[in-house]
């Protein structure tokens, strides 16, 4: 299904945003409701379910935190995320230096965290049961941890030298966090430890001479602005402005040296890319100019480019129940990429007339009417 993803002619996502879309998230409980955040501070909640009974339908916006809303973000919303365990709460962070915790039913903020600098990224652990920490990456080199239970943001992780552009909790261990910075470094932390940092990823796997200490322990030769764990948490993908994507063993911190070729990345801020779920092999979906590139994660093969947006793609999100993809762009559109249905064979052409290679073996009829059959 992933290999046959195409722009769906029958499904539209209602167009609400009047400016670029920076971030999307689909809630993991039902996989039905999607959040979007825009450059104008607007947040929209969509229902992806088809209620029309017809194959041709529009995913409706259920509610909007619009420009006239008293609690709307004043500047660009960079990240939105559903609370991982139910749809009653979601979070948003913005260039207005705030992280807001929203009650979905009232569309009012239950809590607001203020920071000294622009907020580039935040993330809640998808697997945590013992803590409610939101990791926040800002213009400061310090990673902030906000506790939803106490409402305080006391915990700080120190180690980066420049702004933190992306943060991501492990999908396997609830206390393990990865952070990416403009200093070219990616750090893995155990937030229970006083010293915090478990390792700093090194693209050269320790083989570069220690004389050039500057080059040591950088993940990319440029700003690192994208992070994504694989679903089993065993590997971490990173993207940098050196036009490279790297795959790391998240236990050893080793660069696996998978070569994805040039992964064009001109984003000055965080880049929101994603990976497939319940697929074998696994795929990465990466905004690439006005297209979305699909790579096989473990071989680095570029499978295809999805074309349909008119301007830079900023984010994409995977819907694992149906292997669908949604993407948001500077062109103000959200596009739905749906696996193509197999073309029905027209009545006047029986399948016997088709050359055999046109039939996927999975669709071939193995039944035989012969006596021996």
Closest among 321, 315, 329, 224 to 274, alpha carbons compared:
315
State the pTM of this model.
0.89
Of all helices (H) and strands (E), which one includes residue 38? strand 33-38
pLDDT on residue 355? 46
Closest C-alpha among 260, 247, 319, 333 to residue 290: 333
| Signed CA dihedral, 45, 101, 270, 202: sign only | negative
pLDDT tens-digit readout, 87-129: 999 999 999 999 999 999 999 999 999 999 999 999 999 999 9
- Helix then strand then coil, in percent of the chain rounded to 5, is 5, 45, 55
Residue 309's pLDDT is: 96
Residues of the chain with pLDDT under 50: 211, 349-359, 361-364, 368, 373
- The confidence score (pLDDT) of residue 202 equals 94
In terms of phi and psi (left: phi > 0; alpha: psi -120 to 50; beta: otherwise), the region of 112 is: beta
pLDDT at position 208:
67
* Residue spans per domain, the chain: 2-339
pLDDT of residue 348: 53
What pLDDT score was predicted for residue 74? 96
Supply the Cα-derived Rg of the chain in whole angstroms: 22
- Three-state secondary-structure class, residue 151: coil
For the domain spanning 2-339, the CATH number is 2.130.10.10
Rounded CA separation 176/294 (Å): 27
Q: Which backbone phi and psi does 62 adopt, to 5 degrees?
A: -80, -40
- pLDDT score at 193: 87
Cα(72)–Cα(208) distance, rounded to whole angstroms? 48
């Amino acid at each position: 299904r992933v290999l046959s993803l195409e722009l769906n002619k029958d499904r539209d996502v209602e167009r609400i945003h009047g400016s670029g879309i920076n971030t999307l998230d689909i809630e993991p409980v039902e996989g039905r409701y999607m959040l979007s955040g825009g450059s104008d501070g607007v947040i929209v909640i969509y229902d992806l379910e088809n209620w029309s009974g017809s194959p041709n339908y529009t995913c409706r916006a259920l509610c909007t935190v619009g420009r006239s809303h008293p609690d709307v973000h004043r500047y660009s919303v960079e990240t939105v995320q559903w609370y991982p365990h139910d749809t009653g709460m979601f979070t948003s962070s913005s260039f207005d230096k705030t992280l807001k915790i929203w009650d979905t039913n009232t569309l009012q903020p239950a809590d607001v965290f203020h920071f000294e600098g622009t907020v580039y990224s935040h993330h809640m652990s998808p697997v945590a049961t013992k803590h409610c920490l939101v990791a926040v990456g800002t213009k400061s080199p310090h990673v902030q941890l906000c506790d939803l239970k106490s409402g305080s943001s006391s915990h700080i992780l120190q180690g980066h030298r420049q702004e933190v552009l992306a943060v991501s909790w492990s999908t396997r261990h609830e206390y393990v966090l990865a952070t990416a910075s403009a200093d070219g470094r990616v750090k893995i932390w155990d937030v229970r430890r006083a010293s915090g940092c478990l390792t700093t990823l090194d693209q050269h796997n320790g083989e570069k001479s220690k004389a050039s200490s500057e080059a040591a322990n950088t993940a990319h030769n440029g700003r690192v602005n994208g992070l994504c764990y694989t679903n089993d948490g065993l590997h971490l993908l990173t993207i940098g402005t050196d036009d490279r994507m790297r795959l790391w063993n998240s236990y050893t911190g080793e660069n696996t040296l998978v070569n994805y070729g040039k992964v064009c990345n001109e984003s000055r801020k965080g880049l929101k890319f994603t990976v497939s779920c319940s697929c074998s092999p696994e795929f990465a979906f990466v905004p690439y100019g006005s297209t979305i590139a699909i790579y096989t994660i473990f071989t680095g093969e570029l499978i295809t480019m999805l074309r349909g947006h008119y301007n830079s793609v900023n984010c994409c999100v995977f819907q694992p129940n149906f292997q669908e993809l949604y993407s948001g762009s500077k062109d103000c559109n959200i596009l739905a990429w749906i696996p193509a249905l197999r073309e029905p064979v027209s009545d006047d052409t029986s399948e016997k007339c088709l050359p055999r290679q046109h039939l996927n073996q999975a669709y071939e009829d193995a039944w035989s009417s012969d006596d021996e059959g």
